[in-house]
A and B are shown apart, each in its own frame.
Chain A
Amino acid sequence: MSTTILKVKNLTKFFPIIGGVIRHKIGEVKAVNNVSFNLKKGDTIGIVGESGCGKTTVARLILNLIEPTGGEVIFQGQNIFSFSRGEMRKIRKKMQMVFQDPYSAFDPRFTVFESLSEIFVIQKMENVNIKEEIFRLLQLVGLKPEHSDYYPYELSGGQKQRVVIARAITLNPELIILDEPTSALDVSVQSQILNLLRNIQHKFDLTYLFISHDLSVINYFCNKVMVMYLGKIVEEASCEDLFQQPLHPYTKALISSIFVPDPDKRLTIVPLEGDVPSPINLPPGCVFHTRCKFASKICREKEPEAAEVTTNHYVACHHFKKIQEKQD
């Protein structure tokens, strides 16, 4: 049985909106709304959702880059929000991030070597042969020692992302949070980077939290997936189960919106009408009811609770059974 290394409990983040002449709070962006999940060592768990669903905010909360409005993030048995600056610095060694934009991931005035060596300086690691370490890291991600002399603008998108990954594994982390790591890259480079990530996962026994809007990438890369909509997790299952038997209407809509590169499989119906509502004015009851074909009175009034339908397959919907039956 592998151990649970990360527990997210009732995590909530509301961003205040300040306006008016005397600059007071006039509203809230309910970015993350009572999110809970667990990560076991060696897992590769995906979070999928569209813009505004809160997945990036979840990533930043777990890394303690922003403060939560409520809830806990328990890493290796301790709530990270209770840490002091010094303790957090130690934990940062274990939790790293690979974010979407390789173009602004580095100080443009630092060479690759300087950017990577800064980590050792910040973490006050003195007994390290920095040059050797950096060359070793570059090799691990498929780059050559010469690349350490380059400035970010001299590298391609794929090469930059490799350096980002090198930076992430410098301190031997246990958990890496990847937020759209390949979305800004070309398709042919994307597959290279995904293969690289797989390799180093096996090599260093890493746990991944993989955030993306691209369901096909998540299906390939992750073993478990959570679907987020407007700050809430609406469905959670293994990738196989989710794609074979999606239960939540939003999940179904997402899956059917995928354009497969096969001209024989063209979409016949538009899965979802309307725009994503704003996380400022959340619909009452089930957050999805405004776009749901199956919404009824109870959906408008009461928030559905997550229910386990089959082993480890959870869904938060009042009518999932009825929808299943209708479609069979």
Chain B
Amino acid sequence: MKLNDEKQYIPRNKSRIMFLKFKKNKMAIIGLVIISILIFTGIFADFIAPQSYREQNLPLKNQLPSSNFWFGTDEFGRCIFSRIVYGARISLKVGIISTGISVLIGIIIGSISAYYGGYLDQILVVLMDVMWAFPTILLSLIIVAIIGASLNSVIIAIALSYWVQYARLIRGQILSLKNELYIEVTRSLGANDSTILWKHLLPNAIIPVVVAATLGMGSAIVLEATLSFLGMGAQPPTPSWGSMLSNGRTYLFIAPWSAIFPGIATIITVLGFNLLGDGLRDIMDIKMKE
């Protein structure tokens, strides 16, 4: 606390502390930079990409990277660089939205299950086990059958496959935290269930979920590749990095750049999310010194 002139105590600024802690963590800064570049690329793709991502130029197919086509061309003569730039939008969309939905579903179900316990908990745990055992591919097929193949179907399929791990994490955390003394004391002071859940249990329980979510974003992006490859996701000519990777496999020995560049882009993105996640975990941990 600092003293101002009238000898009054000014409380420490929590946001400033978080900001300072973040600045100290070099890895987290790198992660933030990577993700910022990604977001920037995604938003301003129209201005950054030199060519259209769908314009085919068959005579120029499978060309080495050159001054015209910085990353070369794919099997249809399209500019790989432009496709990667537009692909950033897709990957971000998939990563953030599907993980966001998963985490939301996971937190709601996991915390209700852990906090209220009893029969409700037992039923929800069975539900989690069933969903976890359900093969993702089958789930995607079902969704595609209902709403057709598209990026959105894949996002929904990924969200529905992954929510279980977040639910389990939160449930475990809350189960162990809800018996802590300060929870009992807060209850004895007259607090109701929602205050306890939202103000005390969730903020303390959320940290491992944050870290898992950042890892999960990486998995989501990679999973999208599989599903798109199987034809359930992004339909041509949508330039998702995942489908570019899958298609590039066929031409791996003739034109490896069609697969290498989307691969590198994916790796950098996943790395960026992970580093950011580590940084977030550090700043949220109260015990780390400023």
- B178 is an interface residue with CB less than 8 A from chain A: no
Whether A107 lies near B11 (C-beta < 8 A) is no
Contact B185 A92 (CB under 8 A): no
Answer whether residue A105 sits at the interface, using C-beta atoms and an 8 A cutoff: yes
A16: interface (CB < 8 Å) = no
> Could you tell me the distance in whole angstroms from the C-beta of A101 to the nearest C-beta in chain B?
6
B16 interface hit (Cβ, 8 Å): no
Contact A122 B9 (CB under 8 A): no
Beyond A122-B195, A149-B12, whether A107 also contacts B200 by CB under 8 A is yes
| Shortest Cβ gap from B191 to chain A (Å) | 5
Note all chain A residues with C-beta closer than 8 A to B199: 118
Q: Please indicate the chain A residues that have their CB under 8 angstroms from the CB of B185 in the complex.
A: 97, 99, 105, 167
In the bound assembly, the distance between CA atoms of A91 and B204 in angstroms comes to 29
The size bracket of the interface on A is: 20 to 34
In the complex, A198 has a CB within 8 A of chain B:
no
- B188 x A63 contact (CB < 8 A): yes
Docked Cα-Cα span, A122 to B192, in Å, equals 9
| Given A99-B181, A153-B286, CB of A145 within 8 Å of CB of B187 | no
- A88 CB within 8 Å of chain B: yes
Instruction: Tell me, yes or no, whether A273 is within 8 Å of chain B by CB.
Output: no
Please tell me if the beta carbons of B1 and A118 are within 8 angstroms of each other in the complex: no
Q: CA separation between A123 and B189, bound complex, in Å?
A: 8
**Whole-angstrom CA separation of A119 from B182 in the bound complex:** 12
Q: Which among B181, B203, B204 is the interface contact of A101 at CB below 8 angstroms?
A: B181
Q: Which residues of B sit under 8 angstroms from A85, Cβ to Cβ?
A: 192
Q: Which of B179-209 contact A (CB under 8 A)?
A: 180-182, 184-192, 195, 199-200, 203-204
Q: Which residues of A pack against B, CB within 8 Å?
A: 63, 65, 85, 88-89, 92, 96-97, 99, 101, 104-109, 111, 113, 115, 118-119, 122-123, 145-146, 148-149, 151, 153, 167
**Inter-chain pairs besides A88-B190, A101-B181, 5 sampled, C-beta below 8 Å:** A105-B182, A113-B11, A149-B11, A153-B286, A153-B287
Instruction: List residues of B whose CB falls within 8 A of some A CB.
Output: 1, 9, 11-12, 180-182, 184-192, 195, 199-200, 203-204, 286-287
A–B pairs, 27, beta carbons within 8 Å: A63-B188, A65-B187, A85-B192, A88-B190, A92-B188, A92-B190, A104-B181, A105-B182, A108-B287, A109-B203, A109-B204, A109-B286, A111-B11, A115-B182, A118-B199, A122-B186, A122-B189, A122-B195, A145-B9, A146-B1, A146-B9, A148-B1, A149-B9, A149-B12, A151-B286, A153-B287, A167-B185
